[in-house]
């Protein structure tokens, strides 16, 4: 079985540049990924950020679909806690009608921003309604995508227009055992985000739980995927040099939640916007790096260790040309590699 490779792009805004330039690079990278033969290209959702530009994945997906022709395009992911499942279904049914068979709908649990943007996104008139837990909202979203509400559903007869023969494929994204169990109970593909939670023991437990508890009653099989940070360069020294640019910043809240943020400045801003007590932890990022030969070896070992056949990779090198080179070398590394 061939190792499948996909890309997650977060539309990073480099120092001294603008969101306009960041999004233009995302378009260029999607076209580059298509030429190289990557499986899928996903874009992220972040709010109130000066370091990443992708705040509206569904809008960006529409543009990327128009500028590519074969690669699957999707969200990594839509933060469903903020939105009506019905409206998300409408958005992605429109996308699926424009590009049949090419649209992925990845759903995330995180807020995608700081407390202030979460409050702004979740403003409601007259109070919230409908299922608020992730599992309930995903179930309702799936029914709307396929226009298969039960006859006794409170909204029976409502349709998410336009109806499509091939709706967007649903994926659940997470970085915990709990999120894996939700995906298993719902019977959907699951992506563990190792670049967010770098604890490999948690990743192993989550993916094992996903496979063990997967609901196959709908005739589907588990589809575990691993998302990770990765840098490939022409030499080991160059890869290590590029990896040295990266740090992980974690905000540990008194409630027990731990949030991974892109920069120390973001962590400090989050702290200013919350009333919870907190501590900030800053450490070098753990990511796969090396030449194409050594990265291939590391990914094949990860495939065996975690039981996955697809990797969604993100490469946050500050130089765009070096990012392109990294993705080119990665594709070369697996161009002729198949599973034993």
pLDDT, position 131: 43
Q: Are 306 and 207 in contact (CB under 8 A)?
A: yes
Mean pLDDT of the chain: 89
* pLDDT level of residue 7 (50, 70, 90 thresholds): very high
Q: Which residue has the higher pLDDT, 43 or 267?
A: 43
Crossing angle (nearest 10°) for helices 134-146 and 85-98: 40
- How confident is the model at residue 247, as a pLDDT? 66
**Across 40-49, 55-64, 181-190, 330-339, least confident range:** 330-339
Q: Please tell me which residue, 121 or 88, carries the higher pLDDT value.
A: 88
In tens, the pLDDT along 17-29 reads 999 999 999 999 9
Residue 126 binned pLDDT confidence (cut-offs 50, 70, 90): very low
CATH of 4-243+287-333, one of 3.40.50.300, 3.40.50.720, 3.20.20.30, 3.40.50.970: 3.20.20.30
**What does the alpha-carbon distance between residue 142 and residue 174 come to, in Å, rounded to a whole number?**
18
Q: Over 50: is that where the pLDDT of 128 sits? A: no
The reported pTM is: 0.87
86 DSSP β-pair partners? none
Q: Which pLDDT does position 327 carry in this prediction?
A: 98
Residues 6+ apart with CB under 8 A from 199: none
Q: pLDDT at position 338, please?
A: 46
At 273 the pLDDT is 75
Over residues 277-302, the pLDDT tens digits come to: 877 877 666 789 999 999 999 999 99
Query: Residues of the chain with pLDDT > 70: what percent?
Result: 91
pLDDT at 337 over 70: no
- Note the pLDDT tens digit of each residue in 156-172: 999 999 999 999 999 99
Q: What whole-number percentage of the chain has pLDDT above 90?
A: 68
């Amino acid at each position: 079985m061939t190792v499948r490779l996909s890309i997650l792009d977060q539309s990073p805004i480099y120092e001294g540049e603008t969101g306009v330039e960041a999004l233009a690079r995302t378009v260029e990278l999607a076209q580059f990924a298509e030429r190289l033969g990557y499986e899928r290209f996903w874009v992220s959702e972040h709010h109130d950020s000066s370091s990443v530009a992708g705040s509206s994945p569904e809008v960006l997906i529409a543009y990327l679909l128009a500028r590519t022709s074969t690669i699957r395009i999707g969200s990594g992911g839509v933060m469903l806690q903020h939105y009506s499942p019905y409206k998300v279904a409408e958005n992605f049914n429109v996308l699926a009608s424009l590009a049949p068979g090419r649209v992925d709908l990845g759903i995330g649990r995180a807020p995608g921003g700081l407390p202030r943007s979460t409050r702004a996104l979740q403003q409601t008139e007259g109070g919230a309604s409908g299922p608020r837990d992730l599992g309930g909202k995903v179930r309702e979203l799936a029914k709307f995508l396929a226009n298969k509400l039960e006859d006794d559903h409170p909204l029976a007869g409502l349709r998410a227009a336009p109806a499509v023969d091939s709706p967007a494929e649903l994926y659940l994204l997470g970085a915990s055992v709990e999120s894996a169990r939700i995906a298993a109970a719902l019977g959907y593909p699951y992506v563990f985000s190792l670049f967010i939670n770098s604890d490999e023991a948690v990743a192993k437990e989550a993916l094992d739980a996903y496979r063990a508890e997967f609901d196959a009653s709908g005739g589907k099989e588990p589809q575990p995927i691993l998302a990770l940070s990765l840098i490939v360069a022409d030499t080991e020294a160059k890869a290590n040099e590029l990896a040295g640019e990266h740090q992980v910043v974690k905000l540990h809240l008194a409630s027990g939640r731990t949030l991974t943020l892109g920069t120390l400045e973001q962590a400090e801003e989050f702290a200013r916007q919350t009333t919870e007590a907190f501590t900030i932890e800053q450490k070098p990022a753990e990511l796969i790096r090396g030449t194409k030969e050594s990265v291939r070896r590391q990914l094949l070992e990860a495939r065996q260790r975690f039981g996955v056949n697809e990797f969604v990779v993100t490469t946050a090198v500050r130089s765009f040309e070096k990012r392109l080179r990294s993705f080119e070398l990665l594709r070369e590394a697996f161009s002729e590699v198949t599973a034993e």
